[in-house]
Amino acid sequence: MPAVAITGLGAVTALGGDVPALAAGLAEGRCGIGPLTLFAHAGRSTLAAQVPEPAAGIARALPRATARRLSRADRFALAAAGEACRSAGLTPELQRAAALYVGATTGGMRESEEVYRRRRAAEERRFRLSRLLGTPLATHAAVVSQALGLFGPRATFSTACSSSALAIGAAAAAVRDGRARIALALGTDQLCRLTYAGFDALQALDVEPCRPFDRERRGLSLGEGAAALVLEDAAHARARGARIRALVLGDATTTDAHHVTAPHPDGAGALRALVAALAAAGVPPEAVDYANAHGSGTRQNDAVEVAVLRAVFGRRLARLPVSSTKSQVGHCLGAAGAVEAVATVIALEQGLLPPTMNLRTPEWPDLDFVSSAGRRAPLAVAVTSSYGFGGHNVTLVLGRAESGR
Amino acid sequence: MSAVAVTGIGVVSALGHGVEAFWDGLVGGRSGLGPVARCAGRAGQVPPLDLRAVARSPLSRRIDRASLLALAACRLALADAGGLPAGTDAARTGLSLGSALGNLGETAIFLDRLFARGTGNPFVFPNLVMNAPLSYASIELGVTGPTAFLVEQESSGEAALAWGAEQVARGAVDVCLAGATDELEAVLCEVLRDAGALARGEPRPLDPEADGPCPGEGAAVLLLEPMARARARGARVYARLEPHPGFGVPAPAHGWARDPEPVAEGLAPLLADADVVFAAASGRPELDGLEGAALARALGGRGVPVTAVRGALGDFGAAGALAAAAAALAVATGTVPPTLGLVPPARGGLDVVVGAARPADIRVAVVNGLARGGLCRPLRLEATA
């Protein structure tokens, strides 16, 4: 079976509009969570990790009528996918046959909310279909496919907060099974009133910037953005002289079958995902150097996640660096899995441990939560996990590209 | 990669619940369309379900309609197969569901309150995640293996079936339920009506005179397992399902491809030995025109019978899952159900079955999933006898 290489990266996050900006933000320990200004919200929470609007030229490959209908999440997707393909050095011919797997949760909801509000407020006399064509989640994949000329296999996954981690797993499977030599995995989501009000109503939002693993943590901070990874048959990458940034060693997905929003109290499904991903990678737990946690900052998630890590890593957990990238870029929902996979690749490439920000009093003092920025350590293998509403769990095992590859 | 067997079929459709009502209706040329008050016009509505018999867990008390339809189809597929194979491990059981638009009804209710009072409803919000049908079904059925929720416009059903079949083929699961759901929703009908995008009378798939689709709803789920295991336990096998990863063609990102050639090129190898094609056509001129021309080119004058279930069921994102269920039944029974609404000649000079169902020797059936944005998601089903 072909080894799966990562040869390109792209990211649009609250830390900046590309991968270098994300890498710098991770290294400096910047927190991108600030006041919510995109829309008015009357609830408890006032914070979000907002992303600056991508440059106007982002849609220039598309006809004007298409460009006009793009949602913010489409534009994030275009920016991240374009950066990933460029950084992988893909030619139009390679892109033509490449597969495309996308994870997202709300599509063009922000724009559609406004169309719906105006119609209900009688500011419009009828619905105009052309303004709602960007609503469906599958639109992101269509936009990226048409702008970048990707005409291989294509799918869009929506499993809440694990959506784009599942898309990465699908891309890795396509490369391993030989259905595609190159597959672009992408996650994208934008802040919208619906998700913001929904999480706030569930009292799942922290009124301060989220504090994963802190004794005082009160919930998550919503974010937005997009991230993309070019996955490629490693032999194909070497043959065309592409730089291999990291390897996808294994992945697994499981289901809790427990509750529509709450995780399984024992983390049974999350535990099976981590164990199965390590088994698929052929990596023993003692070989793992870093865990990029789901780390949403909710009471339940973090407790369950620590229990899962403890069950797998045992006493070694005290020496296993763990961090939550959500403390810097917020919870990017459908994009979270891909954003965190890119952060994990940066960690492997640069031997740099991303920090957990806003962590003052760890609830589990025996763990190494990487509380300060800029910590360096040689890393060979890292795991990154994503857990979604409905008990959907995905774990990815990523490895440093070996020298000479 | 192992061969994938279809050993159970569950359908909730405007023609009724269960394989028998669905297939008898299709083969008998019955229309599931009729006046639906909340849609202010004709639509294909699923007859009422016994909520408590379908959603049995206290955790499902607030289940939404799209999720309920999916869960009902899962239960019907399991019942059709005589339950899960004995000794099935929950962690080796997969579930793959799809939907084009998900829970639009409660999304509108949530937004109405948000705009009126500025607050979200915490009881409705959990139902608004796209994967709610997957959550409910996995909880109700105790599925803890690999699961996925796929969102692919008009080909959401084909996409979810392909993902499920792929998990079975590569040995990631021992058994997988796969299919899709979409609900008929008042706001969607309002939007489509405002846009003048609906048929004035009956929808006429593949008819050059067609003026639009008719909205519908439904869910279909197939039980998939490795052929060798199905054979070993003496299970009834409807057909063999070949997963296809799909392909893209140049198209407006929000609309239908205009050039049929790349579609035809991608379909040609799949159609080379096809004995029947289940078309995506709904009566929407842009889709039907594209599909008619692409099929005509890919079939190259070979007189292969074509049929389109959206004429009887209405148009919705999950309809491809119902087309796949029909294709499995066609392969198993040697019958091609007729296309309602079409007055021949059909687009592209295709041999579209109209009037009475047509008996045929069917070895291979192709379900032609097509979606806006240039997405092609064909499925291929083969006879196993």
Pair A267, A336 in one domain: yes
Interval B152-193: pLDDT, tens: 999 999 999 999 999 999 999 999 999 999 999 999 999 999
d(CA B93, CA B147): 9
- Chain A residues 5-24 within an 8 A CB cutoff of chain B: none
Pair A133, A216 in one domain: yes
A253 CB neighbours in chain B (<8 A) are: 146-148
Q: Which two tokens stand for residue A226?
A: 């997009």
Which residues constitute the domain of residue A254?
Answer: 250-393
Pair A133, A280 in one domain: no
Which stretches of B151-226 are DSSP H helices? 156-169, 186-194
Q: Determine, yes or no, domain membership for A215.
A: yes
pLDDT at res. A54 = 87
Q: Which two tokens stand for residue A117?
A: 């509000």
pLDDT at res. B137 = 98
d(CA A327, CA A323): 9
DSSP string for A136-152? STHHHHHHHHHHHT--S
| Inter-chain touch B135–A126, beta carbons under 8 Å | no
- Average pLDDT value over all residues in chain B: 97
In this prediction, residue B117 has a pLDDT band, given cuts at 50, 70 and 90, of very high
Known catalytic residue at A331: yes
pLDDT at res. A403 = 42
A120 CB neighbours in chain B (<8 A) are: 112, 115
Q: Which two tokens stand for residue B295?
A: 């099929």
Superfamily of domain B247-382: Thiolase/Chalcone synthase (3.40.47.10)
A391 CB neighbours in chain B (<8 A) are: 135, 138-139
pLDDT at res. A405 = 35
pLDDT at res. A402 = 78
Q: Residue B92 carries which DSSP code?
A: G
Q: Is B180 helix (H, G, I), strand (E, B) or coil?
A: strand
CATH number for the B4-239 domain, one of 3.40.50.720, 3.40.47.10, 1.10.3330.10, 1.10.3720.10? 3.40.47.10
pLDDT at res. A404 = 35
- Write phi, then psi, for A251 (nearest 5 degrees): -155, 160
d(CA A70, CA A80): 15
Q: Which two tokens stand for residue B19?
A: 């394989």
Q: Are B274 and B350 in contact (CB under 8 A)?
A: no
From-to residues of CATH 3.40.47.10 in chain B: 4-239, 247-382
Cα angle: A282, vertex A283, A286; to 5 degrees: 155
Pair A165, A275 in one domain: no
Partners of B41 in the beta sheet?
A: B36
- Chain B residues 123-152 within an 8 A CB cutoff of chain A: 125-132, 134-136, 138-139, 141-152
Pair A177, A68 in one domain: yes
Mean pLDDT by 10 residues, chain A (405 residues): 96 98 97 97 94 88 95 98 98 98 98 96 93 95 98 98 98 96 98 98 97 98 98 98 98 95 92 98 97 97 98 97 98 98 98 96 97 91 96 98 57
- From the list B129, B139, B159, the residue facing A160 with the nearest CB is B129
- From the list A43, A137, A153, the residue facing B247 with the nearest CB is A153
Contacts of B87 (CB under 8 A, 6+ apart): none
pLDDT at res. A349 = 96
- Which single residue is written with the structure tokens 């000794």? B87
pLDDT at res. A22 = 98
Cα dihedral A80→A85→A88→A90 (10° resolution): 180
- Write phi, then psi, for A224 (nearest 5 degrees): -155, 170
Count the neighbouring beta carbons within 10 Å of the beta carbon of residue A80: 33
Query: How far from B308 is each of A371, B117, B207, B349, B367, CA to CA, in Å?
Result: 60, 45, 11, 15, 10
| Inter-chain touch A157–B111, beta carbons under 8 Å | no
Pick the last residue of a domain from A206, A239, A272.
A239
Count of CA atoms in the C-beta half-sphere (13 A) of B116? 8
Q: Are B145 and B91 in contact (CB under 8 A)?
A: yes
- Which single residue is written with the structure tokens 């509380």? A371
Q: Determine, yes or no, domain membership for A398.
A: no
Q: Determine, yes or no, domain membership for A276.
A: yes
CATH number at residue A325: 3.40.47.10
Q: Is the peptide bond before B345 cis (omega within 30 degrees of 0)?
A: yes
Count the neighbouring beta carbons within 10 Å of the beta carbon of residue A61: 14
Q: Determine, yes or no, domain membership for A404.
A: no
Q: Which of A74, A120, A255, A274 to mutate to test the interface with B (most CBs of B within 10 A)?
A: A255
pLDDT at res. A374 = 84
pLDDT above 70 as % of chain B = 100
For chain A, what is the largest distance between any 2 Cα atoms, rounded to a whole number of angstroms? Answer: 65
Interval B248-270: pLDDT, tens: 999 999 999 999 999 999 999 99
Pair A284, A344 in one domain: yes
Interval B288-303: pLDDT, tens: 999 999 999 999 989 9
Pair A145, A77 in one domain: yes
Interval B348-382: pLDDT, tens: 999 999 999 999 999 999 999 999 999 999 999 99
Q: In which element (H, E) is residue B118 found?
A: none
Known catalytic residue at A161: yes
- Which single residue is written with the structure tokens 């057909």? B239
Partners of A157 in the beta sheet?
A: A103, B150
A113 CB neighbours in chain B (<8 A) are: 111
| Inter-chain touch A142–B253, beta carbons under 8 Å | yes
Pair A231, A256 in one domain: no
d(CA A189, CA A161): 10
Q: Determine, yes or no, domain membership for A135.
A: yes
Q: Determine, yes or no, domain membership for A235.
A: yes
d(CA B157, CA B310): 13
Q: At what angle do helices B18-27 and B65-80 cross, to 10 degrees?
A: 100
- From the list B118, B143, B150, the residue facing A257 with the nearest CB is B143
Pick the last residue of a domain from A218, A239, A260.
A239
Partners of B12 in the beta sheet?
A: B17, B219
Q: Are B51 and B12 in contact (CB under 8 A)?
A: no
User: Is a pLDDT exceeding 60 seen at residue B8?
Assistant: yes
Q: Which two tokens stand for residue A361?
A: 């009093």
Q: Residue B254 carries which DSSP code?
A: T
Q: Select which of A140, A192, A264, A294 is catalytic.
A: A294
Q: Is A56 helix (H, G, I), strand (E, B) or coil?
A: helix
Pair A211, A94 in one domain: yes
A258 CB neighbours in chain B (<8 A) are: 139
| Inter-chain touch A255–B145, beta carbons under 8 Å | yes
Q: Is B369 on the interface with A (CB under 8 A)?
A: no
Pick the last residue of a domain from A208, A239, A270.
A239
Total of domains in chain A: 2
